Structure formats: C-alpha cells, structure tokens
C-alpha cells in the first residue's frame, strides 16, 4: 500500500512527460478522475494518521541509556576486544551519571562469549576479559542488555558430532547473573550462515577456513523483563522484517530494542536507510523503538514513528532518553499480520489476468 502511494504518481508523471510538456495537460484531462481518486486516498491516509495518533501524556516512561562505542568491526583479536570493553565501560559510566534505569549495548558489542567462558574457560585471556566485564557489571544496580556470542555444546545435525555451536545473541545481565538470552532467529545468508552447507560442503569449509564466522539460528521469540518493562531485541537487520517485531509484540513485548552493528558499511546513508526500517516497525505495531548501535544511527523512536533523539553517527558516545512505553492498543497489523500485502498481491494478479482476458476477448470480437 505504501509503495502504491509512492509509485503511482511517479508512473503518471512519467507517462505524462513522454509526449513532452505540451502533452502534459492533455494527459491530465484524460486521467482527471484517477487523479481525484488518488488525491482522496492521500487525504484519507493523512486524516487516518492524525486520528489514530497515540497520546503519550499519561504514558509511563523508561529512562534508557544507549552506548555507541564506534569501533571497527573488522578488527578482531583479544587486544581489540580489550580496547572495546574499555570504551564500553567508559561511556557506560558517563551515562550512569544521568541515572538511567537500563543500559543497552549494541550487537556483538562484547566479545568473547560471556556464558561460554564462564562455563568452560577454554581460553585464559578470554576468560579474564569476561571476568573483568562481569566484575564491572556486578558493581552496578541497573540491568545491562549486551550483544554477545552465545556458545553452546550441541550435536551437529549433519556430522552427528558434539561440539561448540554459536548463536548471535542478546544477553540480559542483572543482579550478578545472566537472566535470559535471545538468540537471533533470522540470520543473513552467506555472512551469518551458509544455507547450502549439506550440498556445497567444500565451499562451506573454505569459508570457515577463511575465518568466516557462522551462527546457528535461534527458535524462540524471547521477551525480556527489566526495569518494570517487557521488551524484545531484534538483532541488526531483523528489524527489516515486519513479522519478527510483530511476533515479539504478540508475545508480550511493550518495547522494541534494536541491537545493531552497521559500522562495516562506513556509510551514513546506509545507517540512515536501516534506521528508517525501525520507524516502520514502530508504526506497524504502535510500539516505541530504541536503537543501540556500534556506530549509528543510535536513536529512539516513539510509537507514532517520530524520531525523538539521535546520536551523531560514527562517534564514541552515549544517548539517554525517557522513552514512552505505549501499550494502549494493538494495530490491525499486529492482530492480523500481512493480510493487506497479500490482498494487494493477489488482487494485482487477479486484475492482471482479468485485463489479459478482456484484451483477448476484445481482439477475438
């Protein structure tokens, strides 16, 4: 529906200008009824948006701190991870001076895996870094939401061998413990997982030997609870898929927290395009969105889709905002899902078939 409102006037203008400006007026006269219908739809959409606009005057707020460490995601190794942690701690301490109720780090903000190295201690320096982090967290009286690698001992479905399996995950750390973990359910093909592992085994092992890090998909739409708020954390490009945020909200999430690391792009334009997807998720479900990123765009978006506050991209810093936690009602999309898109799809196909039949009938007559 949104694409229709955007594309239709562009298509009309394109056809009108085929004959040059001289034929523009004639085209407008021939399609004046179409133009009037389109104008009516636009007026309806604008009025509808104003009528259903959420009022936050009595809405409870969550004072959230988002940490933007701005580190190069292509640089790995324990020394880089140590420097990253120093930045995260420094910026978190600055943010904590403003009394937030929760502190949110970005996707894979901390490496190595916290839970894995507390359980197995397979690498001394990695364990020491994890201990340094948990010692720091244990001195704080607010919950921390951390993007991390979650390692598990599981049986490989193809080889049948038992070994370490990694998930791209979000960890809620509070009161000295990992309270809950969300494991990313929609991975990016070829960069986060290899979809043809069982068929193109040689290519899969070549990529693994080239230090490509693959994760396993999670299968649960986790809803966290902290600071009196229920929230869920779509990781990075998961916020571009409407069904994921919808499932979180239907499971009880009152707030959407997007954990992102887009810094690999080195592009403000790419960061802004991704942020625009979070605006859509806010409007679709009428839930506020908090975005905590490595390098941008760190921001908050209210349930009407209005961008409240932003942090300048590609700088080290933090952002604190009192985010409205709006839960008054559910949208049609949250209740019924993709019905409108499917209606447009099959309706368009039906009209295409009908047009072809009418043309063939007219030709035969």
Residues assigned a catalytic role: 107, 184, 236
Q: How many Cβ atoms from other residues are within 10 Å of residue 16's Cβ? A: 18
80 and 270 in contact (C-beta within 8 Å)? no
Which residues touch 346 (CB under 8 Å, ≥6 apart)? none
Question: Residue 329: what are its φ and ψ, rounded to 5°?
Answer: -155, 165
Of 147, 150, 145, 84, give the one whose Cα is nearest residue 115. Answer: 150
61 sits in which H/E element: strand 61-68
Q: Which two tokens stand for residue 351?
A: 């009209």
CB burial class (10 A; 0-12, 13-18, 19+) of residue 128? middle
38 and 28 in contact (C-beta within 8 Å)? no
Cα 4 to chain centroid distance, Å, stands at 24
Q: How many Cβ atoms from other residues are within 10 Å of residue 218's Cβ? A: 20
Q: Which two tokens stand for residue 161?
A: 């061998």
Cα 153 to chain centroid distance, Å, stands at 28
Residues found in the chain: 365
303 and 288 in contact (C-beta within 8 Å)? yes
Which residues touch 228 (CB under 8 Å, ≥6 apart)? 62, 101
């Amino acid at each position: 529906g949104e694409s229709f409102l955007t594309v239709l006037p562009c298509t009309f203008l394109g056809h009108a200008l085929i004959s040059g400006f001289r034929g523009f007026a004639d085209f407008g006269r021939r399609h004046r009824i179409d133009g009037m219908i389109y104008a009516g739809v636009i007026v309806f959409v604008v009025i509808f948006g104003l009528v259903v606009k959420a009022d936050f005057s009595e809405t409870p707020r969550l004072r959230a701190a988002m940490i933007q460490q701005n580190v190069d995601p292509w640089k790995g190794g324990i020394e880089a991870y140590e420097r990253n942690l120093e930045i995260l701690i420094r910026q978190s301490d600055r943010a904590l001076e403003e009394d937030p109720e929760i502190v949110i780090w970005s996707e894979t903000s901390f490496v190595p895996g916290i839970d894995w190295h507390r359980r197995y201690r397979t690498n001394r320096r990695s364990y020491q870094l994890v201990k340094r982090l948990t010692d720091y967290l244990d001195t704080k009286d607010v919950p921390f939401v951390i993007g991390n690698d979650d390692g598990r001992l599981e049986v490989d479905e193809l080889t049948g061998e038992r070994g370490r399996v990694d998930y791209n995950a979000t960890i809620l750390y509070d009161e000295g413990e990992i309270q809950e973990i969300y494991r990313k359910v929609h991975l990016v093909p070829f960069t986060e997982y290899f979809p043809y592992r069982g068929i193109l085994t040689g290519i899969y092992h070549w990529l693994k030997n080239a230090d490509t890090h693959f994760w396993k998909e999670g299968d649960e739409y986790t809803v966290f609870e902290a600071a009196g708020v229920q929230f869920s954390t779509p990781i990075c490009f998961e916020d571009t898929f409407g069904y994921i945020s919808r499932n979180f909200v239907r499971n009880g999430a009152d707030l959407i927290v997007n954990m992102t690391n887009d810094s690999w792009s080195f592009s403000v334009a790419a960061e802004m395009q991704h942020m625009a997807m979070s605006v859509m998720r806010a409007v679709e479900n009428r839930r506020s969105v908090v975005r905590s990123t490595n390098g941008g765009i760190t921001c908050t978006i209210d349930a009407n889709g209005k961008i409240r506050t932003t942090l300048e991209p590609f700088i080290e810093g933090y952002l604190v905002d009192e985010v409205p936690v709006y839960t008054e009602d559910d949208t049609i999309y949250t209740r019924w899902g993709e019905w409108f898109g499917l209606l447009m799809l099959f309706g368009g196909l039906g009209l295409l078939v009908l047009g072809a039949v009418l043309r063939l009938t007219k030709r035969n007559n």
